[in-house]
Amino acid sequence: MKLDSHYFSSIISRNGAKELLENFTDQKLANYKSKRNFDYGSYEKNFVSALSPALSRRIITEKEVIKHVSSQFSFAQIEKFVDEICWRTYWKGWLEHRPAVWYDYLSKLENFEDVKVNNPLYNKSIEGNTGLECFDSWVKDLLEFGYLHNHSRMWFASIWIFYFNLPWQLGAEFFYQNLIDADSASNTLSWRWVAGLQTQGKKYITYRENIDRFTDSRFSFPDNFILSDRETDNYVYYEPNYQVLENNATKSKNIGYMVVEDDLSFENIMKDSPVIIQSESYNPFGQSENVKSFSDRALESALENCKKNISKNVATFKWSNVEKINDWVNTNKIDEVEIISPTVGKFEKLIPSTFKKLDVKSSYFFHDWDKLFWKHADKGFFKLKKNIKTIVSPFWNMPLFNSD
Ligand SMILES: Cc1cc2nc3c(=O)[nH]c(=O)nc-3n(C[C@H](O)[C@H](O)[C@H](O)COP(=O)(O)OP(=O)(O)OC[C@H]3O[C@@H](n4cnc5c(N)ncnc54)[C@H](O)[C@@H]3O)c2cc1C
């Protein structure tokens, strides 16, 4: 799905993300349920929000999206959209219950270095040079815009695994490196879902007629385009290990707040307190220039937003120079640094290990939204879905039970 340059410059900022949400709500949301699965090839023609790069960094939060859309629609009218917003929360919670899934994926990736060197199809695939028109076109979009429509992501992953017989982990890595909404939970778990590893025995195997119908017959297919139902990895059951999440800030006098690229919501920050913001994207997994530049610009915009609306007492740091955190702590006489709790992914281990080396206490803040949902994310989505209406009701602006 092609995105225009206006889209990119708008969505890095809170105001831009809000504007995109407003336009989507006014123009497309009413048709979301019936049209969301169609990928007509461009942002203008499609009926999805393209809010994911903002949501995955919490430039705008799930709660804010729900509050906005519920001022114009009843729950029944937009239940499908609400469900999709909650899928993101669900995947995040599911992985929080089972961090081992992420670490197993990372360690498996290391075994596939030989595929990268020796399998020509892998290299043709990531260059968009396989000769399969739809697939090559998605690769080009992904490399150029850093975004694909959800259905195209599903077809892409299905073709990668069941047509090209490539390891799902390498596909997940390729997505993670190139998607501007790259998210450890949504990406890894969606690839596992397609491969049949999320729900035992349930793989997602696509077929020509399905792609044809939902892409408005934009692509031609070879006669032998038949995906094979093959085993991927063995299904492994991961025991959920849920811990009750509570904010653990103490009653310290001088609290400072640290903001990192994964959560730019500022939801926990007391006005006019000292704040330190990451100034440059952190890139341990080889993310593309596109993704880095998006994150850098989002951080820049967060800094401006902070100065203007939250606190003028703001400093910046890079992960390559965490000494600056110490300087900021000393200058402001901070005795505790509060951070929005990092989720499984880039920062989960980095933040605590950094604070072990610094001479200041740190504490975690959890979004109320996450706390409400994650306790239902230990099993399948259906368990969480049963609770969505109750959980969102305090944030809902219109009567929840209108049927039209
Ligand atoms: C193989 C694969 C990999 C994926 N990798 C990512 C990823 O790295 N990051 C990411 O944010 N999403 C990922 N998704 C989920 C989904 O494709 C995107 O969230 C969605 O396409 C974003 O477009 P949108 O904002 O227009 O979605 P909309 O349809 O407008 O939905 C609104 C919001 O709901 C959430 N959402 C919608 N669909 C899903 C879904 N299936 N799973 C989880 N959340 C959803 C997103 O936050 C999205 O922004 C992946 C899906 C697949 C099949």
State pLDDT tens for residues 73-129. 999 999 999 999 999 999 999 999 999 999 999 999 999 999 999 999 999 999 999
Per residue in 116-133, pLDDT tens?
A: 999 999 999 999 999 999
Q: Is 260 in the pocket of ligand 1 (CB under 6 A)?
A: no
Per residue in 131-161, pLDDT tens?
A: 999 999 999 999 999 999 999 999 999 999 9
Decide if pLDDT at 370 tops 50: yes
Residue 331 confidence (pLDDT)? 97
User: How many whole angstroms from 150 Cα to the centroid of ligand 1?
Assistant: 6
Residue 403 confidence (pLDDT)? 47
Q: Which CATH code fits 99-214? A: 1.10.579.10
Question: How many Å apart are CA 219 and CA 160, to the nearest integer?
Answer: 17
Question: How many Å apart are CA 276 and CA 254, to the nearest integer?
Answer: 14
Residues 6+ apart with CB under 8 A from 66: 82, 85, 392, 395, 396
Q: Is 91 in the pocket of ligand 1 (CB under 6 A)?
A: yes
CA nearest ligand 1 atom 5, residue:
187
| Cβ atoms 82, 388 nearer than 8 A | yes
Query: pLDDT grade, residue 402 (50/70/90)?
Result: low
Which long-range contacts link 119-127 to residues 24+ away (Cβ below 8 Å)? 119/166, 121/164, 121/166, 122/166, 122/170, 125/160, 125/164, 125/166, 125/174, 126/174
Number of CB atoms found within 10 A of residue 39's CB: 26
Q: Is 46 in the pocket of ligand 1 (CB under 6 A)?
A: no
The sheet carrying 255-259 orders its strands as 314-317, 275-278, 255-259, 336-340, 361-365
Domain 255-365 maps to which CATH number in 3.40.50.620, 2.60.40.1240, 3.30.1380.10, 3.40.1160.10?
3.40.50.620
Residue 4 confidence (pLDDT)? 78
Per residue in 261-304, pLDDT tens?
A: 999 999 999 999 999 999 999 999 999 999 999 999 999 999 99
Which of these, 294, 291, 282, 285, lies nearest to 322 by C-alpha position? 282
Question: How many Å apart are CA 393 and CA 396, to the nearest integer?
Answer: 5
Question: How many Å apart are CA 218 and CA 152, to the nearest integer?
Answer: 13
Query: pLDDT grade, residue 404 (50/70/90)?
Result: very low
Domain range summary for the chain, segments of one domain joined by +: 99-214, 255-365
Query: pLDDT grade, residue 3 (50/70/90)?
Result: confident
